[in-house]
Structures are given as C-alpha cells and as structure tokens.
Structure 1
C-alpha cells in the first residue's frame, strides 16, 4: 500500500506540480488511512469499502480531528482512488458518497480601513523597514497570497502599468493590480535593494544577505513591522488578503471582479466576503437604528412622537 502512496506523491510533485506543503498534506492523510487499514489486516487499497472509510472517519472524529481536517482527508482519499482507477490499480472509489461532518463557517478577520491606513501611512524607519512596508503595501493593494508574494521576480512587476503577474494555486498565472501607494513603496525598496544583492538575483524581496525571503521570514517580518507601528494583534499575510477583498467588495459590490483578482476557482469561496460585509452592516444597524437598540433585553420603542403621521 505504501508503494502506491509513494507513486501518487511523485505524481503530485512532478506531474501535477503541487506545492511541497500540499504534497505533504496529501501524504500525511493517505498514510493515516494506510495505518488504519493495516491495523485491521487490510493489505491492498481495493479491499477497502465504503463501510471501512465510514468507520475510519468516525474514529478520526472521536480522536479529535476537526471537521475541516476530516473534509481535507476525505478529499485526499477521493483523489487518490481516482488516480488508482486511472492506473488500473482499483475498480471503484469507496470514498464516493461519503461526506465529512460540516464545519461551522468562520468569517475571516479583517483590518479596519482606518487601521490599515494608520499602519501603512507611517514612514519606514530603515532599509529593511522599507522592504517590509513594500511587502505590506503589495499584500493590501493586490490581495495576493504569501506564496505568490514570496515567488515574485523583478520581471513579474510592471510598475509603470501598475500590474503584477503572480503564479497562484495549481500554477495558474493571473494579473493583479498594484496601486499607487504600493508602487511608491516598491520604488523606495528598489533603491535599497539595488545595493543589497547582485544583478543575478531575480527575487523582488530579499534578506540582508541578498537572497530570496522565505515564507516564514515574511511572516515574522510583517509581525515585527506591525508591532513597531503599535499594532500587537495577529497580523499575517492573509489578514491583508481578507482586508483587500472585503474593502474592495464593500466599495464596488463587484463579486466577480474580486473573485478574479483573488484567483478563486469557485465564486462560492469569494462569497464569504459578502457575509462579512452583511455582518458589518448588521452591526452598524444595531448601533444606529432606533428600533434595533435594546434596553434590559427588550426592544426600546421610539416614544418621542405621538404616533400620528
């Protein structure tokens, strides 16, 4: 069974060109099922049936796996069996018809517009702060993911046109906007970058040794960047992405455009920001509308008039 897992992992890594993180997740999920099967004297993948997977799902749930983790696990199993069927190593997919417990939907956190402005409007304190400000501006301006920013090369940015070409999930390329504030911050960083690395280095964002910044370094530097500006909440690249999407949708109402800029394959993924904006409007309503305010658990009616029109 391990032989088939290894072959599938190679397929994901070299043919599908999945990211190392995604490949690692698939491998971990499949080996969890292999271990479960071998404990029950199952020696080949075709032997597993729907009832076996249902029992495995129930066991993993009792062991504390979240609904989201179980959904990911089940998705990995389905795709693995699809691969086995294509390779004539199995005749049916026992994961079809099986569903994981639904996870409660969590609305993404976002920065308030004024707080985002407060953080981004502060002038950089030194050369590396100029780099970190450029990263923050680009995250907020373009809504790109951490891996997309880390992978940016100089040739991917056209500051005159105000666009960036990024390589998203599934190695799909898309073009995203780069706003004027982000362009100004990038130009300031370019002046610094020129003296920090060789002409052969293609990465936009580099460390003090002139090499491409790692994902982890970007996360840590953004956290430090925010703290220098007096923000000690949990600031991370996806917070800027969520804020970009929410603020843009709130201003434009164009869900399809936001979907395209975020690189979402399914518009249902983008619709979470519609729920977020409705939640914001509901909070405004609760604070401001006279018929929404409550006192001692009861709706407080407006008694300022006689009731006549």
Structure 2
C-alpha cells in the first residue's frame, strides 16, 4: 500500500523526491509503531487513538511540532488515497489536529548587559556616538518600535511634561512618559545635533545630511553597539523593545500598563513577555537554589 501511494505521488502528483522520501519515512515509522502496539493491527484497522499515540511518541523522541505535523500530513494524504481506491473503508486521520507550533520566546538583552553598554562603555562626543547612545536609551526606556523611533519629530518631545508622543501602527498615537536619564540624553543629543548637522527635517533623529534617519541606519547602529555586550544572535532594535517589556515586568509593572506603553491592542500579545520572565525566573532558581 505504501509503495502504491509513493508511486502515486511521483507519477500522478509529480511530487519531488525529497517530498516522497519524507512521506515514506513518516509512513514507515507509523507502520513500525502500530505493529509494535498490538498484534494484528494493520492499515485497515488502526484508529484515531493509535495515530494520536504515534504523534505523542514522536514528541517524546524529541521531534518538533513542525515534524509531527509533517507526519500527520503524510498520514492524511495516504488515507485519502487509500479510501478513494477502496484499500481501506475509513479515514482515521481526517479529524485529528496536530500540535500547535510553539512561538519562540522574545529575545532580550539582560539588564546587566544594558548597564555595561550605557554606563561602562566609552562614548565619544562625536555626533554619531551621541546619536547612537540616544537611540539605544530611547528604544530601551520607551519600548518603541524602530518605525516609531524614526517617526519622532522634535515637536513630539515634551520636556516640561517629560513625555513622548508616539505614532504607532495604523497611525494610532500614544503618550509615553520618560525619566531624567532619557531627558538628559535627549537634550545632549539635540544640542550636539544642532551644532554639527545642517537640519533639513523636522525629524528628531537625523542622518549626517540633516534628513530623517533611515531604518537601515537605526538597525546598524543598534546591532553594532549591542554586539559589544551580548552574544544574542538577534541584535535588532526590536530586541530592545523586548528588553523594555521584560525589564518592566521583572520590576513589577502591571501587564495592562505594559500593554498600553507598548501600544498593543490585545493583552494576549503582551502576555508573551510573562513567559519570558518566567523562563528567567526558572534560570535564577536553578542557579541559586542550594538543593537544585
């Protein structure tokens, strides 16, 4: 039966040999599994419970949800083929749902790494360095998206009220408070910028020609500087947004407050950071508990 199905994939469906091999491996593995479960089980007698048991065994062997779903897809295709040709009289796979793929947890820079970068790294008074430090502090202390940072204008910074007016997705605006450190850094940056750059734009962050800074410049700036203190593979501006959210929750900020600061529409989007902080909590426990 398996050979007939594989020939069907090759010659009638024109599937690649890679796909055929992947389906063959899944079907062979399933057959081996059900033959070990109960004497007399066959392709015509296996039911949904047997398939679920096989999927569980795949997970227990360390396979990812993606691999298990590929195996389930192979079974579905096989049983549809066999049912259409009356090789079996039922399709036990069609109502089974595969495991959900786990979304990767957001990566974040540790607080001590941020402190090392901002407090212990030598920064020159050149415009490029002053701007870089300001960008990093703004992203980290305000939790902005890259596009939101680029979109800031001078008029969006209210030093008297100590707040930023941020334009987010779908042009929705929100107000983000900031503290003394960011206020001082922004003042230093603006002073340096106005002395060294011929301003051609209302934008807060400018390139050397006086125009609004580009996405690539912001990305390059953040990546180069985060590389000094972290070994994370991802060192993008969004990592600093993740770091902001994680730091806020680690220091007992409420989930609803963090949601508003990030500009999330749904609390579910913000809740992923609670998983991040829990993972950090588990690491702290394992490192610190004397009996672990």
What is the TM-score with the length of structure 1 in the denominator? 0.59
Q: Using the alignment, how far apart are the partners of 2:236 and 2:171 within structure 1? A: 23
Q: Kindly state the Cα deviation for residue 123 of structure 1 after the two structures are TM-superposed.
A: 4.6
Q: Kindly state the Cα deviation for residue 175 of structure 1 after the two structures are TM-superposed.
A: 0.6
Q: Using the alignment, how far apart are the partners of 2:170 and 2:177 within structure 1? A: 21
Runs of 4+ in 1 over 6 A off after TM superposition: none
Q: Kindly state the Cα deviation for residue 100 of structure 1 after the two structures are TM-superposed.
A: 10
Q: Using the alignment, how far apart are the partners of 1:197 and 1:178 within structure 2? A: 25
Q: Kindly state the Cα deviation for residue 221 of structure 1 after the two structures are TM-superposed.
A: 1.6
Aligned to 1:113: 111
> Where do 1:115-130 residues align within 5 Å?
115-121=113-119, 122-125=121-124, 126-130=126-130
Q: Classify the secondary structure of the residue corresponding to 1:273.
A: helix
Q: Using the alignment, how far apart are the partners of 1:232 and 1:209 within structure 2? A: 33
Q: Kindly state the Cα deviation for residue 264 of structure 1 after the two structures are TM-superposed.
A: 0.5
Q: Kindly state the Cα deviation for residue 231 of structure 1 after the two structures are TM-superposed.
A: 4.7
Structure 2: where are the runs of 5+ without partners? 1-22, 24-64, 67-96
Q: Kindly state the Cα deviation for residue 198 of structure 1 after the two structures are TM-superposed.
A: 4.5
Aligned to 2:154: 154
> Where do 1:115-264 residues align within 5 Å?
115-121=113-119, 122-125=121-124, 126-198=126-198, 201-227=201-227, 229=228, 231=230, 233=232, 234-264=234-264
Cα pair 2:199 2:211 within 8 Å, conserved: no
Q: Deviations over 1:12-48 (max 9, x none)?
A: xxxxxxxxxxxxxxxxxxxxxxxxxxxxxxxxxxxxx
Q: Classify the secondary structure of the residue corresponding to 1:116.
A: helix
- Count how many residue pairs are aligned between Structure 1 and Structure 2: 196
Aligned to 1:15: none
> Where do 1:58-77 residues align within 5 Å?
none
Aligned to 2:29: none
Aligned to 2:281: 281
Q: Deviations over 1:134-188 (max 9, x none)?
A: 0100001100100000000000011232110011111100011222211111111
Q: Kindly state the Cα deviation for residue 235 of structure 1 after the two structures are TM-superposed.
A: 2.1
Give me the CA root mean square deviation: 2.3
Aligned to 1:54: none
Q: Kindly state the Cα deviation for residue 287 of structure 1 after the two structures are TM-superposed.
A: 2.3
What is the TM-score with the length of structure 2 in the denominator? 0.62
Distance 1:101 1:147, change over 3 A: farther
Q: Using the alignment, how far apart are the partners of 1:200 and 1:264 within structure 2? A: 33
Q: Using the alignment, how far apart are the partners of 2:164 and 2:194 within structure 1? A: 20
Q: Kindly state the Cα deviation for residue 213 of structure 1 after the two structures are TM-superposed.
A: 0.5
